[in-house]
Each structure stands twice: as structure tokens, then as C-alpha cells.
Structure 1
Amino acid sequence: MSCARCLKFLMLFFNGIIFLAGAGILAVGIWVKVDSGSILGFLGKIPNAPSELSQVLNVGYLLIALGALLVIIGFLGCCGAMRESKCMLLLFFVIVMLIFLAEVAGAIVLLVFRPLVDSLFVKFGIIAVQNIRTDYGKNDDVTGLWDTTMSTLKCCGFNNYTDFINSTYHRNNGYPSMCCQDGGAPCGNNTNSTAVPSVPGCFTRIKALIEDNSKVIIGVALGIAVLELGAMITSMSLFCSLKSA
């Protein structure tokens, strides 16, 4: 009986934290989407704030989805432990297991099917370059997303500055300012420039960022996997103790 109480306490404690964190993230996401006017007004008052800062509103959808998922998981874990509901505990176990299996499947795809992943990145690069040449400077969302990415990572285009050549934006405005850092990439409407750019493409930057922080990423992934395994073991242990009681 004391073992069951200990398991119940662990379920309530950890899932209570998950539920509160999810509720907070969900509230922020809803606030970002509902009260976008006030947020834009606040961002507009920040001195020398970049225009790309307004793209923070697009993060609202991600926050809502993540918050809702955490709320559901936390609710099932807490309520299942408190009410000693085998149905809720089982549903909690199934959801966490599905997330865990999805993560394992993703890791296997990255390791075993590395050539396939590389080919997918190549195809994604073609789509990204096409997106730049057709929508950059015309679509505010696309422009803001690329500007934020390039200014944050200090990069230019998907591959390099040549991604902008023959684009609508390039014909009218030349190259984006992010492509002209350190004077490496050509500035102005000069499609025949042979200058060697010092500003790398965003794909190169992201690749280097992942490689430089690979140990941290692996450590975080393993930590999350251990927590998920612990959650599944605890929920099933409590489920079995209730079943035998």
C-alpha cells in the first residue's frame, strides 16, 4: 500500500508540473494570437526594434499546440493517479509511449537512412530557393520569416546570396542587407558580380550549429527519453497495483 502511495505521489508531483507548465504555455499562445494588437503596439515602442520582431506572433500557434498537448498529458496523469482511474492511467501511458516511439523512429531514420535524409534536405533546398525567388519581398509572412532567420543566424539565403539572383526582390531592390555583412556578399542590383561571399547560407549555419551542439542535443534527448520511460514505468506500476488491489 505504501508503494502505491509513493507511486501516486510521484505521478501527482511530476504531472502537476507538466500540467501547470502546459497551462502557462497555452495561455501565452492564446494571448499572443488574441491580443496581437497590443503586442504589436508594445513591440513598436521598443527603441530601434527590428521589423522582423513582429513575426513573434506566428509562434502563437506552436505554443498553443505544445501547451494543449502538455495539459492533456498532465491532466491524464494527475487525474488518473488521484482518482485511481485505470482508464486514464492507461491512456496516459499510451500517449507517452506514442511520443516516445515517434522520437525513436525519428532517431532511427536519421541514423539508418542518412542518405535519404540528405536527399530530402536537397529537395527541401530546391523548394526553399524557389520560395525565395517567388515570394520573398512579396509575401509579408515569407519575407519576415526569412529576414528573422537570416538576421538571427547571420546568414544569407538557403545556400548563399545567389539564391536571390533572378528573384523579384533582387530585380527591384538588389540583395537583402543581411547578405551584405562584412562586405563579403555583393550589394545592390548586380547579378553579374563574381565576389566571393563571406556570409554563409542558412543551411550551412544550421548544420554547423547542430554539429557544434551535438553533445548537448544528445544529452537533452536522452534526458527526455529517460523521463518518458520513467513516466511509463510509474504509470504502469500504479496501474498494476490498482489492478491487484
Structure 2
Amino acid sequence: MGCGMGVIKYLLFIFNFIFVLCGLAILIVGVLVHLGDKNYSNIHVEDITGDLTFPAITLIVIGSIIFLIAFFGCCGAIRESHCMIVTFACLLLTILIIQVAVAIYAFVVLKNADDINFKEEYTKNVFNKYRDSDQESKNFVNFVQKELECCGVDDYRDFANILHIGIPGSCCGKEVSTECDQSHVYKKGCAVALENLFRTACAGLGGVALGIAAIELIGIIFALCLANSIKNAERRGYSV
């Protein structure tokens, strides 16, 4: 094996270490998005933001499989096994194709966000139930207002104009049981905050998938070059 292929051999080994970190990043992003979607599945959050379950679950599965593929690549590079390296490249190519599909799906969902009326959906499916006995909707509204630092649908006046109740403490970072003074409430409406969060989540899913797919493409090229070098050496009849 020439000096150039020797360099590629160790670069491939280093790449697989980076690949493990990429797999961990994919896994974390998928878990975070899935947990955020699952925690409020009972109140049909997908009616507001759309369904992120498919891309999130797919990324979780991909992130888990990547650890096994990286092990295959490391062993193949160190042992200079043509079969293991080609297998590694094929598995990596399969993952790359799936990730590109996930990225396309996420960006399509992001593009279709323009067709979602976040204000209408949030008002109808969640906010209007705040005053009723629907505790899940109430908890969700308070959670959104506290975490996203927003209040009402458009602003704090929605509690008086739509629900005819006082402004809850979640609108100013206080306990829910207390009421907020108008001078301390969050100024941003939650419909806009949820839309921004949804767009960020979709862009994040697509961006992570495409970014790591680019790294995987480099790994595939290195693996095929190394496999070709090993095959040529075997044909010449000496050990590499």
C-alpha cells in the first residue's frame, strides 16, 4: 500500500471517530424533538404545528445504527479488510440516502408552514379550552407562555377579550395561580412564538441531516479509495 493510501487508512479511522460523534448528535436532536412532541401528544399539538414524529424517530434510529457502522469502518480500516470496508461504504451510503430523504421531508414541512394558520389553530384547539375543565390544555398554555416568554394568542389582552379572565402568572414568569400586572407581562403573542419554534425545529432537523450527510459522503469516498487500494494489492499477490 502506498503512502497516500496509508494516509487514507488512518484518515478513515479518524473519520469513524468523528462519525460516532455525528451519530450522537443525530440521536440527541431526534430524541429532543420527539420528547417535545410526545409530551403534549394528548392535546393534539400536531393540529397546530404538524407532525414531526416521522423525522424525529428516523433520526433516532439512524443515530443508533451509526455506532454499529462506525465500528465496522474502524475494524475494516485497521485490519485492511476489503470486505468490511466495502460493507461499511454500502451501509453508509444507505444511511446517507435516508438522511437526505429526512432532510427533504423536514424542509417540505417547513415550506408548508406557510399554509398553517397558527393563530387560528392555537386559538381553536388550545387557548379557548383554557377556561374549561381541560387541564391538559391549560397546562400546555402555561408551559408555552413560560418557556417561550409569550402571552395569549396575539398578546395579553386575549385573556380579557376572549376568555374574560385575569392574566395568569405564566405570562410574566410567576406562579400560575397568581395574576400578572399588565406592565410586567410578556409582549409577544404565543401564536407567533409557536410558529417560530416550529420553523426552527424543522430547519434544525433538515440542517443536521444534510450537514452530517456531507461528512458521510467524504467517508464513503475515503472507504472506496482504500478498498480499491487493498483489492489492487491483493491482485498483485502481496500482503498489505
The verdict on how the C-alpha distance between 1:181 and 1:204 changes in structure 2, with shifts beyond 3 A counting, is farther
The verdict on how the C-alpha distance between 1:204 and 1:226 changes in structure 2, with shifts beyond 3 A counting, is closer
Compute the displacement of 1:82 (Å): 1.9
Residue identity in the other structure for 2:182: G
TM-score by length of 2: 0.55
* Match in the other structure for 1:177: 169
The alignment-based identity, stated in percent, is 21
Equivalences for residues 161-240 of structure 1 within 5 A: 161=156, 164=159, 170=163, 174-179=166-171, 181-183=180-182, 199-205=187-193, 225-240=210-225
Structure 2 SS opposite 1:157: coil
Deviations 1:178-205 (A, max 9, x none): 34644159xxxxxxxxxxx873312334
* Match in the other structure for 2:149: 154
Compute the displacement of 1:2 (Å): 0.7
The verdict on how the C-alpha distance between 1:90 and 1:142 changes in structure 2, with shifts beyond 3 A counting, is farther
Q: Distance in 1 between matches of 2:8 and 2:226?
A: 6
Equivalences for residues 105-124 of structure 1 within 5 A: 106-107=106-107, 117-120=113-116, 122=117, 124=118
Structure 2 SS opposite 1:5: helix
Conserved? CA contact 2:72–2:85, under 8 Å: yes
Deviations 1:70-103 (A, max 9, x none): 2212322332442424334322222233323543
1:132 aligns with 2:136: no
Superposed CA RMSD: 4.7
Q: Distance in 1 between matches of 2:14 and 2:196?
A: 40
Q: Distance in 2 between matches of 1:166 and 1:20?
A: 47
Structure 2 SS opposite 1:15: helix
How many residues were matched structurally?
Answer: 190
Conserved? CA contact 1:155–1:200, under 8 Å: yes
Compute the displacement of 1:132 (Å): 2.0
The verdict on how the C-alpha distance between 1:145 and 1:235 changes in structure 2, with shifts beyond 3 A counting, is farther
Q: Distance in 2 between matches of 1:72 and 1:81?
A: 15
Structure 1 SS opposite 2:39: helix
* Match in the other structure for 1:11: 15
Conserved? CA contact 1:11–1:235, under 8 Å: no
Compute the displacement of 1:147 (Å): 1.3
Give the structure with higher Rg (CA): 2
TM-score by length of 1: 0.54
Conserved? CA contact 1:150–1:202, under 8 Å: yes
Compute the displacement of 1:130 (Å): 1.1
* Match in the other structure for 1:58: 39
The verdict on how the C-alpha distance between 1:76 and 1:243 changes in structure 2, with shifts beyond 3 A counting, is same
Compute the displacement of 1:4 (Å): 4.1
Deviations 1:125-157 (A, max 9, x none): 322211224543644443333212101222113
85-94 vs 14-23, which deviates more?
A: 14-23
Compute the displacement of 1:242 (Å): 1.7
Q: Distance in 2 between matches of 1:58 and 1:108?
A: 24
1:71 aligns with 2:64: yes
